[in-house]
Amino acid sequence: MKSYPLHIDGQDVEGDRWIYVVRSSAFLEDPKPAFDLKRSLELNRGAVPTDDVVARCALGGMDANDAAVRAARKASRAWGRTPQAVRSRIVVEFNRRLAARADELIEILIAEGHPRRLAQWEVSGMLCGTDEATIRWYESQLHQTFESQGRRIDLVRKPDGVVCVNPPQNAAGSNSTMGIFALLAGNTLVVKAPRSSPLSVMFVYRELLVPILQEHGAPPGTVNLICGPAAGILRDWVSNPLVDDILFFGDSPAGLKLGEECLRNGKKAVLELAGNDGFVVWRDADLDAAARALEESFYGSSQICMVPKYAVVHPAVAEEFLDLFVERVRKLRPGQPEDPEVLLSPVLKVDRFFDFKAEALGAGGRLLCGGERVGLDGLESPTGLFCEPTVIRLDGLERARGLSVVREETFFPLLPVIVPDEDSDERLFEAVVDFLDGNAYGLRNSLWTRDEDLVDRFATEVGNGGQLKINDSHIGFSPILSTHGGNRQTGGPYGELNYAGLRTTHLQGIVRGTGDPRPLDPRVLTTTEKADD
């Protein structure tokens, strides 16, 4: 059994008590004894850990948080002076060690309840996001040098200072990796592991990153790991003058409110909030490939922000596409997370699943498959932990626009497929672009078509979203391209494709002059202009 204390100011620190991580499959198999075992261990009632107990993590209070923030502040100046080449080497080495221990992390994520296919996808994103090509791109953005009129001009992104990271409980380990980019840019970190899923965060930082920092002589306090009361810690981060930035993952109402509070307190919130991604299938699309991509909607029972949450299918191919897609969806089933064929996770918001379904059907939607609550065996059950993957057809863009299942983020496996009314392709495409841009969220949008002119128009005209995916996996990763980020209710008013290593910095211009303090004669041409002549 792994055991992780807190890590503050370069030292492992005992917490107030231990949180025990019991294998998720034990809860799915028989919830009561698994819960009783976890509770008895945490209350120190003499229970003996079994093979299903995979780890324990220390839980601390507000004193631990205060010590972590102070340690990060103390280390921030020295770490900010560390040469960029050293910081880059640290992240590249992290990538290598992560690759070497990827299977170990995947097993940890499975123990926390992530289906194997989902865990593999998460780790692939962590590897892609920290690969050497991405780090070299970051270097090109963090410091640029120009020569003009005998002067050297440096554009340097300086670290903000102390960055606090609040990863989400549903994907804590993978999302916490965003903090490493803030570290790359010269910031120090306080990372709060969620009480419900601390193990993957502790593994990523304590097993992989912290040893690399120590090997390179990073000052104590460069990275601090805590686990404690979420609400109290967030409130302290917002008001604490030693904290500069907060990297927050959560739902949109809570995140946008936090952003307002940060602004009032003179600090920066980098927000990763809800998503409501659109997925467009045009009349000439490769329908089989599009159906495979849209199946990504049901990863983790759709409890992932960046999966497609609604689809718009050209009326000319709607019947054929839906036949292909529904056939694939019917094969999805619940199961233990260790099963390599399983995509579905237990659903947390079951009541909203049925509320949204009822509203859509009451407005004329047609249920194509699914719709019931089921148990681990896939059979209908009023107390089942899963919901069947569900597809509802909705006809007409305007009729669909006001429905909750289209307008709001769905965090359960209920996918609306909208079939627009027949119209000319030109008017239909314009209506679809307006529909995507009218979405209150802005994470990702996808298009499937063979028409290169349409591809160019989609890329040019769709402004909503941190990413546009064309004829590609909606949730796939690419080097250099950030894994996160969006606008509107996804990232707040300052949201965009999220390069956390840039968002947690500020741009500074540095001019090294000629020694002549006199202003330049505006009639003097620049070197560039002379060269052009």
pLDDT in tens, 382-426: 999 999 999 999 999 999 999 999 999 999 999 999 999 999 999
Distance CA 144, CA 150 (A): 17
> Which residue from 104, 132, 131, 129 is spatially nearest to 119, judged by alpha carbons?
104
Residues facing residue 153 across a β-bridge: 146, 511
* Residue 489 contacts residue 256 (beta carbons within 8 Å): yes
The stretch 441-457 carries a mean pLDDT of: 98
State residue 532's pLDDT score: 47
| Confidence (pLDDT) at 149 | 86
The whole-angstrom separation of Cα 87 and Cα 75 is 14
AA identity, residue 484 = H
> 12-42 in b/e burial notation, b at 16+ Cβ within 10 A?
ebebeebbbbbbbbbbbeeeeebeebbeebe
What gap in Å lies between CA 403 and CA 32, rounded to an integer?
A: 38
Q: Which residues contact 520 (CB under 8 A, 6 or more apart)?
A: 149
Task: Provide the token pair at 395.
Answer: 């006809």
- Res 523: pLDDT: 65
Per-residue pLDDT, averaged over 302-323, amounts to: 98
- Using the 8-state DSSP alphabet, how is residue 273 labeled? -
Please state the rounded mean pLDDT for residues 19-42. 96
pLDDT of residue 506: 98
Tokens (6 digits) for 280: 């467009």
- Cα separation, 320 vs 323, in Å, equals 5
Mean pLDDT (whole number) for 82-110: 98
Q: What's the 3-state SS for 86-104? A: HHHHHHHHHHHHHHHCHHH
- In one-letter notation, the amino acid at residue 360 is A
Q: Residue 522's pLDDT is what?
A: 65
**DSSP 8-class letter at 497:** B
User: Which tokens is 277 given?
Assistant: 């991604």
- Is the model's pLDDT at 521 over the cut of 50? yes
Determine the residue type at 55: A
Q: Average the pLDDT over each of 148-152, 284-288, 357-361 and give the range with the smallest value.
A: 148-152
Tokens encoding 245: 């930035």
The residue type found at 429 is F
pLDDT in tens, 193-249: 999 999 999 999 999 999 999 999 999 999 999 999 999 999 999 999 999 999 999
Beta strands in 44-194 (DSSP E): 53-59, 143-148, 151-159, 162-166, 188-192
Instruction: Dihedral sign for Cα 42, 209, 109, 278, please.
Output: positive
DSSP class of 485 = B
End-to-end Cα spacing for the chain:
72
User: What does pLDDT average to over the chain?
Assistant: 96
**Three-state SS for 67?**
helix
- Coil, helix or strand at residue 70: helix
Confidence band for 349, pLDDT divided at 50, 70 and 90: very high
Residue 277 CA to residue 120 CA, distance in Å, equals 22
Please give the average per-residue pLDDT across 249-268, as a whole number.
Answer: 97
pLDDT > 90: percent of the chain: 95
Residue 515's pLDDT is: 87
CA distance 375 to 387: 8
267 vs 311: CA distance, rounded Å: 38
Put simply, whether the predicted model's pTM sits higher than 0.85 gets the answer yes
pLDDT exceeds cutoff 60 at 459: yes
Asked if 403 and 452 touch (Cβ cutoff 8 Å), the reply is no
Strand, coil or helix: 191: strand
Q: Is the pLDDT of residue 531 over 60?
A: no
Strands (E), 43-127: 53-59
> How many helices (H) and strands (E) are present in the chain, helices listed first?
22, 24
Cα Rg for the chain, rounded, in angstroms? Answer: 25
Measured distance CA(452)–CA(418) in Å, rounded = 23
DSSP code, position 23? -
Query: Angle of helix 102-111 relative to helix 116-129, nearest 10 degrees?
Result: 130
Predicted confidence band of residue 517 (pLDDT cuts 50, 70, 90): confident
d(CA 287, CA 263): 46
Q: Tens of pLDDT along 148-169?
A: 888 999 999 999 999 999 999 9
pLDDT range class, residue 516, cuts 50, 70, 90: confident
- For the chain, the residue count is 533
> How many beta carbons lie within 10 A of that of residue 99, not counting itself?
13
Q: What's the CA gap between 459 and 474, in Å, rounded?
A: 15
